[in-house]
Amino acid sequence: MNQTTGLRVRNDSQKISAFIKEELKPKGKLISPFNVLAAIIIVVGIGLIIFRFAKGIGAVTNLSQEFPWGIWIGFDVVTGVAFAGGAYVLTFMVYILHLDKYHPVVRATVLNGFLAYVFYAGALLLDLGRPWNVINPIIGNKFGLSSVMFLVAWHFMLYMMAEFIEFSPAAAEWLGLKKLKKILSGLTIGAVIFGITLSTLHQSGLGALFLMAKGKIHPLWYSEFIPILFFVSSIFAGLSMVIFEGTISHKVFHNLLGRKLKNSENTILTGLGRVCAGTMFVYLFVQGVVFIHGQRWQYLNSGWGLWYLTEMVGFVALPGALFTMAVRNQNIKLIRIASVLALLGIIINRLNVSVIAFKWYAPHHYYPSWQEIWITLTVIFTEILIFRWIVNRMPIFSDPEEVEEGDDTLKYILYNEENEETEKWKVSNM
Partner 1 sequence: MERRNFLKTLGAIGGSMVVSKKTAAEESIKEEKEFYGILVDTTRCAGCQECSLACAEAHGLPEPDMDDNLITADRKTSTKSWTVIRGVESEDDITYIKTQCMHCNQPACASACPTKAMEKTEEGPVVWHSDRCMGCRFCMLSCPFDVPKFEYNSPVPKIQKCIMCWDRLQEGDEPACTEACPEDAITFGTRRELIDEANTRIYESPNDYVHHIYGQNEAGGTGYMYLASMPFEKLGFKTDIGDKAYPELTTDFLYGVPFVLTLWPAMLIALNKATTKDSSEED
Partner 2 sequence: MEGFKYVDIFATKGIEYLFVISFLILFVAYWKFLNKPIKNATRKIRKVLIEWFQLAEDYYYHRGHVWAAPENQNTIRVGLDDFAQKMLGKAQKIEFPKIGEKITQGEKSLKLNIDNRNIDILAPVSGEVVEINQNAAKDPSIINQSPYEEGWLFKVRTNKLRRNFNNLFHDRLAKEWMHETAVEVSDLMSKEPGLLLQDGGEVIPGFIKEIDPDNWDKLARRMLLTGDKK
Residue 266 C-beta: closest distance to partner 2, Å: 5
Task: Please give the Cα distance from 358 to 210 (Å, whole number).
Answer: 10
Q: How many residues does the chain have?
A: 430
Contact status: 310 vs partner 2 (CB under 8 A): no
Binding residues among 388-407 for partner 1 as defined by CB under 8 A: 405-406
Q: Please say whether the dihedral angle defined by the alpha carbons of residues 283, 244, 259 and 262, taken in this order, is positive or negative.
A: positive
Residue 68 C-beta: closest distance to partner 2, Å: 31
* Contacts of 179-188 spanning 24+ positions with Cβ under 8 A: 181/413, 182/411, 182/413, 185/410, 185/411, 185/412, 185/413, 186/409, 186/411, 188/95, 188/410
Task: Please give the Cα distance from 317 to 232 (Å, whole number).
Answer: 15
Contact status: 227 vs partner 1 (CB under 8 A): yes
- Partner in contact with 298, chosen from partner 2, partner 1, none, beta carbon below 5 to 8 Å by kind: none
Distance (Å) of CA 325 to CA 118, 267, 328, 341, 406? 36, 15, 5, 14, 39
Q: Write the interaction track for partner 1 spanning residues 68-87; mark x where CB under 8 A is met and - where it is not.
A: xx------------------
Geometric angle at alpha carbon 96, from 93 and 102, rounded to 5°: 30
- Partner in contact with 178, chosen from partner 1, partner 2, none, beta carbon below 5 to 8 Å by kind: none
The strand ranges marked E within 249-407 are none
Contact status: 409 vs partner 1 (CB under 8 A): no
Residue 263 C-beta: closest distance to partner 2, Å: 5
Task: Please give the Cα distance from 37 to 169 (Å, whole number).
Answer: 33
User: What are φ and ψ of residue 217, in 5° steps?
Assistant: -105, 135
Contact status: 328 vs partner 2 (CB under 8 A): yes
Residue 154 C-beta: closest distance to partner 1, Å: 9
The answer to whether 79 and 351 are in contact (CB under 8 A) is yes
User: What are φ and ψ of residue 358, in 5° steps?
Assistant: -80, 125
Among the candidate windows 28-36, 200-208, 239-247, 369-377, which touches partner 1 by CB under 8 A? 200-208
Contact status: 232 vs partner 1 (CB under 8 A): no
What are residue 358's DSSP bridge partners? 217
Number of chain positions touching partner 1 (CB under 8 A): 63
Residue among 44, 161, 187, 213 that touches partner 1 (CB under 8 A): 213
Residue among 259, 300, 373, 421 that touches partner 2 (CB under 8 A): 259
Residue among 200, 331, 369, 428 that touches partner 1 (CB under 8 A): 200
Task: Please give the Cα distance from 220 to 290 (Å, whole number).
Answer: 10
Number of chain positions touching partner 2 (CB under 8 A): 24
Contact status: 50 vs partner 1 (CB under 8 A): no
Residues that bind partner 1 (CB under 8 A): 53-59, 61, 63-66, 68-69, 92, 95-98, 127-131, 133-134, 136-137, 140, 142-144, 146-151, 153, 189, 192-194, 196-197, 200-201, 204-205, 208-216, 224, 227, 405-406, 408
